[in-house]
Protein backbone atom coordinates (compact mmCIF):
# COMPACT_ATOMS: atom_id res chain seq x y z
CA UNK A 1 0.00 0.00 0.00
CA UNK A 2 1.27 3.48 -0.88
CA UNK A 3 2.35 5.57 2.11
CA UNK A 4 -0.11 8.42 2.78
CA UNK A 5 2.72 10.96 2.65
CA UNK A 6 3.41 10.25 -1.04
CA UNK A 7 1.12 11.04 -3.98
CA UNK A 8 0.35 8.66 -6.87
CA UNK A 9 3.59 9.74 -8.58
CA UNK A 10 5.68 8.90 -5.50
CA UNK A 11 6.20 12.59 -4.70
CA UNK A 12 6.01 14.12 -1.25
CA UNK A 13 2.48 15.27 -0.41
CA UNK A 14 2.82 15.41 3.40
CA UNK A 15 5.87 14.89 5.61
CA UNK A 16 4.82 12.55 8.40
CA UNK A 17 7.79 10.24 9.04
CA UNK A 18 11.23 9.32 7.69
CA UNK A 19 10.42 5.62 8.00
CA UNK A 20 9.95 4.33 4.46
CA UNK A 21 10.79 7.68 2.85
CA UNK A 22 12.79 6.92 -0.33
CA UNK A 23 16.45 7.86 -0.20
CA UNK A 24 16.18 10.13 -3.25
CA UNK A 25 13.52 12.23 -1.50
CA UNK A 26 15.68 12.52 1.65
CA UNK A 27 18.68 13.54 -0.46
CA UNK A 28 16.58 16.00 -2.48
CA UNK A 29 15.46 17.68 0.77
CA UNK A 30 19.07 17.95 1.99
CA UNK A 31 20.30 19.31 -1.37
CA UNK A 32 17.45 21.81 -1.50
CA UNK A 33 18.29 22.93 2.04
CA UNK A 34 21.88 23.59 0.91
CA UNK A 35 20.56 25.99 -1.72
CA UNK A 36 18.63 27.92 0.98
CA UNK A 37 21.46 28.28 3.48
CA UNK A 38 22.70 31.57 2.02
CA UNK A 39 19.22 33.18 2.13
CA UNK A 40 19.68 33.67 5.87
CA UNK A 41 22.87 35.69 5.23
CA UNK A 42 21.23 38.11 2.79
CA UNK A 43 20.40 41.69 3.76
CA UNK A 44 16.78 40.90 2.83
CA UNK A 45 16.28 37.35 4.07
CA UNK A 46 13.48 36.40 1.69
CA UNK A 47 12.70 34.46 -1.47
CA UNK A 48 9.21 34.57 -3.06
CA UNK A 49 8.63 30.81 -3.34
CA UNK A 50 5.57 30.60 -1.08
CA UNK A 51 4.21 34.11 -1.66
CA UNK A 52 0.44 34.11 -1.21
CA UNK A 53 0.44 30.79 0.67
CA UNK A 54 -0.79 30.42 4.25
CA UNK A 55 1.11 28.25 6.72
CA UNK A 56 -0.59 27.41 10.01
CA UNK A 57 1.61 26.41 12.97
CA UNK A 58 -0.50 24.16 15.19
CA UNK A 59 1.53 23.29 18.28
CA UNK A 60 -0.55 21.32 20.75
CA UNK A 61 2.65 20.62 22.70
CA UNK A 62 5.34 23.12 23.76
CA UNK A 63 8.28 23.98 21.53
CA UNK A 64 11.02 26.59 21.24
CA UNK A 65 13.19 25.53 18.30
CA UNK A 66 10.75 23.75 15.99
CA UNK A 67 7.94 26.30 16.18
CA UNK A 68 10.15 29.34 15.75
CA UNK A 69 12.30 27.86 12.97
CA UNK A 70 9.16 26.80 11.06
CA UNK A 71 7.87 30.35 11.43
CA UNK A 72 11.19 31.85 10.30
CA UNK A 73 11.44 29.36 7.41
CA UNK A 74 7.90 30.11 6.19
CA UNK A 75 8.51 33.86 6.49
CA UNK A 76 11.77 33.58 4.52
CA UNK A 77 9.77 31.82 1.79
CA UNK A 78 7.36 34.83 1.86
CA UNK A 79 4.39 32.81 3.15
CA UNK A 80 1.80 34.25 5.54
CA UNK A 81 2.16 32.51 8.90
CA UNK A 82 -0.51 31.94 11.52
CA UNK A 83 0.54 30.63 14.93
CA UNK A 84 -2.49 29.13 16.65
CA UNK A 85 -2.24 29.79 20.36
CA UNK A 86 -3.65 26.49 21.54
CA UNK A 87 -3.97 27.66 25.16
CA UNK A 88 -6.36 30.48 24.21
CA UNK A 89 -8.04 28.63 21.32
CA UNK A 90 -11.48 27.02 21.44
CA UNK A 91 -9.90 23.59 22.02
CA UNK A 92 -10.13 24.64 25.69
CA UNK A 93 -13.95 24.73 25.22
CA UNK A 94 -13.97 21.16 24.00
CA UNK A 95 -13.67 21.64 20.23
CA UNK A 96 -12.28 18.47 18.71
CA UNK A 97 -9.00 18.31 16.82
CA UNK A 98 -10.70 17.59 13.50
CA UNK A 99 -13.29 20.35 13.98
CA UNK A 100 -10.40 22.74 14.65
CA UNK A 101 -8.69 21.50 11.47
CA UNK A 102 -11.89 21.86 9.39
CA UNK A 103 -12.33 25.45 10.55
CA UNK A 104 -8.72 26.39 9.79
CA UNK A 105 -8.93 24.64 6.41
CA UNK A 106 -12.02 26.76 5.69
CA UNK A 107 -9.71 29.79 5.98
CA UNK A 108 -7.92 28.47 2.86
CA UNK A 109 -4.85 27.16 4.67
CA UNK A 110 -2.16 25.66 2.44
CA UNK A 111 0.00 23.92 5.05
CA UNK A 112 -0.47 22.70 8.59
CA UNK A 113 2.64 22.23 10.73
CA UNK A 114 1.46 20.00 13.56
CA UNK A 115 2.99 19.06 16.89
CA UNK A 116 0.91 16.85 19.14
CA UNK A 117 1.48 14.71 22.23
CA UNK A 118 -0.51 11.86 20.67
CA UNK A 119 1.45 9.65 18.27
CA UNK A 120 -0.42 9.54 14.96
CA UNK A 121 -2.26 12.87 15.25
CA UNK A 122 -0.57 14.34 12.11
CA UNK A 123 -1.47 11.14 10.18
CA UNK A 124 -5.09 11.50 11.18
CA UNK A 125 -5.07 15.12 10.02
CA UNK A 126 -3.31 14.24 6.74
CA UNK A 127 -5.96 11.62 5.97
CA UNK A 128 -8.73 14.09 6.81
CA UNK A 129 -7.72 17.19 4.84
CA UNK A 130 -8.53 17.92 1.19
CA UNK A 131 -6.09 17.42 -1.70
CA UNK A 132 -4.64 20.96 -1.73
CA UNK A 133 -3.49 20.93 1.89
CA UNK A 134 -0.12 19.67 3.10
CA UNK A 135 0.62 18.41 6.61
CA UNK A 136 4.07 18.46 8.20
CA UNK A 137 4.67 16.46 11.36
CA UNK A 138 6.56 18.68 13.83
CA UNK A 139 6.75 15.88 16.41
CA UNK A 140 4.02 13.43 17.46
CA UNK A 141 4.25 11.71 20.84
CA UNK A 142 7.16 9.32 20.88
CA UNK A 143 6.62 8.37 17.24
CA UNK A 144 8.42 10.71 14.83
CA UNK A 145 10.03 14.12 14.37
CA UNK A 146 10.96 14.00 10.69
CA UNK A 147 12.26 17.56 10.22
CA UNK A 148 14.53 17.11 13.27
CA UNK A 149 15.79 13.87 11.70
CA UNK A 150 16.43 15.70 8.42
CA UNK A 151 18.21 18.65 10.03
CA UNK A 152 20.32 16.19 11.99
CA UNK A 153 21.29 14.48 8.72
CA UNK A 154 22.04 17.87 7.19
CA UNK A 155 24.32 18.65 10.14
CA UNK A 156 26.12 15.31 9.90
CA UNK A 157 26.60 15.70 6.14
CA UNK A 158 27.89 19.25 6.62
CA UNK A 159 30.57 18.22 9.11
CA UNK A 160 31.32 14.64 8.06
CA UNK A 161 30.55 14.55 4.29
CA UNK A 162 30.21 10.80 3.63
CA UNK A 163 27.49 8.85 5.46
CA UNK A 164 28.93 5.54 4.28
CA UNK A 165 32.11 5.96 6.36
CA UNK A 166 30.49 6.75 9.71
CA UNK A 167 29.95 5.22 13.11
CA UNK A 168 27.09 7.05 14.85
CA UNK A 169 26.00 6.68 18.50
CA UNK A 170 22.50 7.61 19.68
CA UNK A 171 22.67 7.95 23.45
CA UNK A 172 20.13 8.04 26.26
CA UNK A 173 16.35 7.81 26.38
CA UNK A 174 15.82 6.06 23.05
CA UNK A 175 12.57 4.50 24.30
CA UNK A 176 10.62 7.77 24.51
CA UNK A 177 12.44 9.70 21.78
CA UNK A 178 10.74 10.54 18.49
CA UNK A 179 14.04 12.19 17.48
CA UNK A 180 15.91 8.91 17.99
CA UNK A 181 13.39 7.03 15.86
CA UNK A 182 13.59 9.58 13.02
CA UNK A 183 17.38 9.75 13.23
CA UNK A 184 17.76 5.97 13.16
CA UNK A 185 15.51 5.66 10.08
CA UNK A 186 17.37 8.49 8.33
CA UNK A 187 20.83 7.13 9.16
CA UNK A 188 19.85 3.71 7.87
CA UNK A 189 18.28 5.16 4.70
CA UNK A 190 21.44 7.18 3.99
CA UNK A 191 23.68 4.14 4.30
CA UNK A 192 25.47 4.68 7.63
CA UNK A 193 27.16 1.29 8.20
CA UNK A 194 27.20 1.35 12.01
CA UNK A 195 24.53 2.90 14.20
CA UNK A 196 24.82 2.31 17.94
CA UNK A 197 22.17 2.77 20.60
CA UNK A 198 23.54 3.42 24.10
CA UNK A 199 21.47 3.62 27.27
CA UNK A 200 20.14 1.77 30.29
CA UNK A 201 18.05 -1.27 29.38
CA UNK A 202 14.94 0.44 30.80
CA UNK A 203 15.28 3.20 28.17
CA UNK A 204 16.09 1.04 25.13
CA UNK A 205 13.06 -0.26 23.20
CA UNK A 206 13.01 -3.86 22.00
CA UNK A 207 13.81 -4.50 18.34
CA UNK A 208 16.85 -2.24 17.92
CA UNK A 209 19.15 -5.13 17.01
CA UNK A 210 16.61 -6.39 14.46
CA UNK A 211 16.81 -2.92 12.90
CA UNK A 212 20.58 -3.49 12.48
CA UNK A 213 21.79 -1.39 15.43
CA UNK A 214 24.50 -2.33 17.90
CA UNK A 215 23.20 -1.96 21.43
CA UNK A 216 25.36 -0.95 24.42
CA UNK A 217 24.44 -0.47 28.06
CA UNK A 218 28.02 0.58 28.89
CA UNK A 219 28.45 4.11 27.52
CA UNK A 220 32.24 4.01 27.63
CA UNK A 221 32.27 0.90 25.47
CA UNK A 222 29.62 2.29 23.12
CA UNK A 223 31.38 5.59 22.48
CA UNK A 224 34.67 4.04 21.48
CA UNK A 225 35.81 5.36 18.04
CA UNK A 226 32.48 6.88 17.01
CA UNK A 227 32.36 9.84 14.58
CA UNK A 228 29.04 11.31 15.70
CA UNK A 229 27.35 11.37 19.12
CA UNK A 230 23.65 12.22 19.22
CA UNK A 231 22.64 12.86 22.84
CA UNK A 232 18.96 12.60 23.76
CA UNK A 233 16.95 14.40 26.40
CA UNK A 234 15.47 12.38 29.25
CA UNK A 235 11.75 12.59 28.41
CA UNK A 236 10.46 12.62 31.97
CA UNK A 237 7.03 13.79 30.80
CA UNK A 238 6.56 10.57 28.79
CA UNK A 239 7.82 8.15 31.47
CA UNK A 240 5.38 6.00 33.38
CA UNK A 241 6.79 4.62 36.63
CA UNK A 242 10.37 4.74 37.87
CA UNK A 243 12.67 3.83 34.99
CA UNK A 244 15.76 5.44 36.55
CA UNK A 245 17.23 5.57 40.05
CA UNK A 246 17.96 9.34 40.00
CA UNK A 247 19.21 12.02 37.60
CA UNK A 248 22.59 12.06 39.43
CA UNK A 249 22.95 8.32 38.94
CA UNK A 250 21.90 8.70 35.29
CA UNK A 251 24.51 11.40 34.71
CA UNK A 252 27.20 9.23 36.27
CA UNK A 253 26.56 6.40 33.81
CA UNK A 254 25.08 8.10 30.73
CA UNK A 255 25.92 11.80 30.97
CA UNK A 256 28.36 12.97 28.28
CA UNK A 257 31.45 14.36 29.99
CA UNK A 258 34.79 15.42 28.52
CA UNK A 259 36.26 12.21 29.90
CA UNK A 260 33.73 10.02 28.06
CA UNK A 261 33.92 12.15 24.91
CA UNK A 262 37.67 11.43 24.74
CA UNK A 263 36.79 7.80 23.94
CA UNK A 264 35.21 8.82 20.62
CA UNK A 265 37.31 9.80 17.59
CA UNK A 266 39.24 13.04 18.25
CA UNK A 267 37.18 14.88 15.59
CA UNK A 268 33.83 13.43 16.68
CA UNK A 269 30.93 15.87 16.69
CA UNK A 270 28.41 16.18 19.54
CA UNK A 271 24.74 16.76 18.74
CA UNK A 272 21.61 17.29 20.84
CA UNK A 273 18.14 18.18 19.53
CA UNK A 274 17.37 20.36 22.55
CA UNK A 275 16.09 21.25 25.00
CA UNK A 276 19.15 20.10 26.97
CA UNK A 277 19.18 19.04 30.59
CA UNK A 278 22.67 20.22 31.54
CA UNK A 279 24.17 18.05 34.25
CA UNK A 280 21.70 15.24 33.46
CA UNK A 281 22.51 13.98 29.96
CA UNK A 282 25.37 16.35 29.07
CA UNK A 283 27.84 18.51 30.96
CA UNK A 284 28.22 22.17 30.03
CA UNK A 285 31.90 21.80 29.13
CA UNK A 286 30.85 19.44 26.33
CA UNK A 287 27.62 21.21 25.30
CA UNK A 288 29.53 24.48 24.89
CA UNK A 289 32.83 22.88 23.85
CA UNK A 290 34.69 22.81 20.51
CA UNK A 291 33.16 19.51 19.35
CA UNK A 292 29.59 20.63 19.93
CA UNK A 293 27.51 21.42 16.81
CA UNK A 294 24.29 21.86 18.76
CA UNK A 295 23.64 25.45 17.70
CA UNK A 296 24.53 24.63 14.08
CA UNK A 297 21.68 22.11 14.19
CA UNK A 298 19.30 24.97 15.02
CA UNK A 299 20.62 27.18 12.21
CA UNK A 300 20.46 24.36 9.65
CA UNK A 301 16.90 23.63 10.81
CA UNK A 302 15.70 26.81 9.10
CA UNK A 303 17.11 25.82 5.70
CA UNK A 304 15.82 22.25 6.06
CA UNK A 305 12.31 23.47 6.94
CA UNK A 306 12.41 25.91 4.01
CA UNK A 307 13.31 22.95 1.80
CA UNK A 308 10.45 20.78 3.08
CA UNK A 309 7.87 23.56 2.69
CA UNK A 310 9.03 24.61 -0.78
CA UNK A 311 9.01 20.99 -2.00
CA UNK A 312 5.51 20.45 -0.62
CA UNK A 313 4.43 23.76 -2.12
CA UNK A 314 5.65 22.57 -5.52
CA UNK A 315 8.22 25.32 -5.98
CA UNK A 316 11.33 23.12 -5.53
Q: Rule CB under 6 A: which residues touch ligand CP?
A: 63-66, 139, 148, 273-275
Q: Which is nearer to ligand CP, 172 or 274 (CB)?
A: 274
| Closest approach of ligand CP to the CB of residue 202, in Å | 23
Do the strands 167-171 and 194-198 form a parallel or antiparallel pair, or are they unpaired? parallel
For residue 139, give the nearest of 253, 235, 35 by alpha carbon. 235
Three-state secondary structure of 132-172:
CCEEEEEEECCCECHHHHHHHHHHHHHHHCCHHHCEEEEEC
Q: Which is nearer to ligand CP, 55 or 105 (CB)?
A: 55
Please give the Cα distance from 272 to 295 (Å, whole number). Answer: 9
| Closest approach of ligand CP to the CB of residue 139, in Å | 6
Residue 112: enclosing H or E segment and its boundaries? strand 111-116
For residue 230, give the nearest of 268, 192, 176, 202 by alpha carbon. 268
| Closest approach of ligand CP to the CB of residue 124, in Å | 20
Q: Which is nearer to ligand CP, 49 or 111 (CB)?
A: 111
| Closest approach of ligand CP to the CB of residue 234, in Å | 14
| Closest approach of ligand CP to the CB of residue 99, in Å | 26
Q: Which is nearer to ligand CP, 66 or 155 (CB)?
A: 66
Residue 270: enclosing H or E segment and its boundaries? strand 269-271
Quick one: CA dihedral 27, 204, 230, 144, positive or negative? positive
Q: Which is nearer to ligand CP, 49 or 269 (CB)?
A: 269
Q: Which is nearer to ligand CP, 77 or 180 (CB)?
A: 180
Q: DSSP letter for 278, please.
A: B
If you write DSSP's letter for every residue of 182-200 in order, what string do you get? HHHHHHHHTT-SEEEEES-
Q: Which is nearer to ligand CP, 86 or 215 (CB)?
A: 86
| Closest approach of ligand CP to the CB of residue 128, in Å | 24
Q: Which is nearer to ligand CP, 105 or 187 (CB)?
A: 187
Please give the Cα distance from 32 to 306 (Å, whole number). Answer: 9
| Closest approach of ligand CP to the CB of residue 263, in Å | 26
| Closest approach of ligand CP to the CB of residue 245, in Å | 26
Please give the Cα distance from 219 to 232 (Å, whole number). Answer: 13
How many CB atoms sit inside 10 A of residue 274's CB? Answer: 18
| Contact (Cβ atoms closer than 8 angstroms) between residue 17 and residue 146 | yes
Amino acid sequence: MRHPQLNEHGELRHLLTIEGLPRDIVTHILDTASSFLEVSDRAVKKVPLLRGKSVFNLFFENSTRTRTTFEIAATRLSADVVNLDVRTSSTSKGESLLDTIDNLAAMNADMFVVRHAQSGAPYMIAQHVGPGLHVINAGDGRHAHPTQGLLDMYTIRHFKKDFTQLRVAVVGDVLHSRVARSDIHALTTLGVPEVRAIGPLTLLPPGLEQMGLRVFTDMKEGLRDVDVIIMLRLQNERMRGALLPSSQEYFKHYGLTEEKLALAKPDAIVMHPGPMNRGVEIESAVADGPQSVILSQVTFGIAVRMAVMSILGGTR
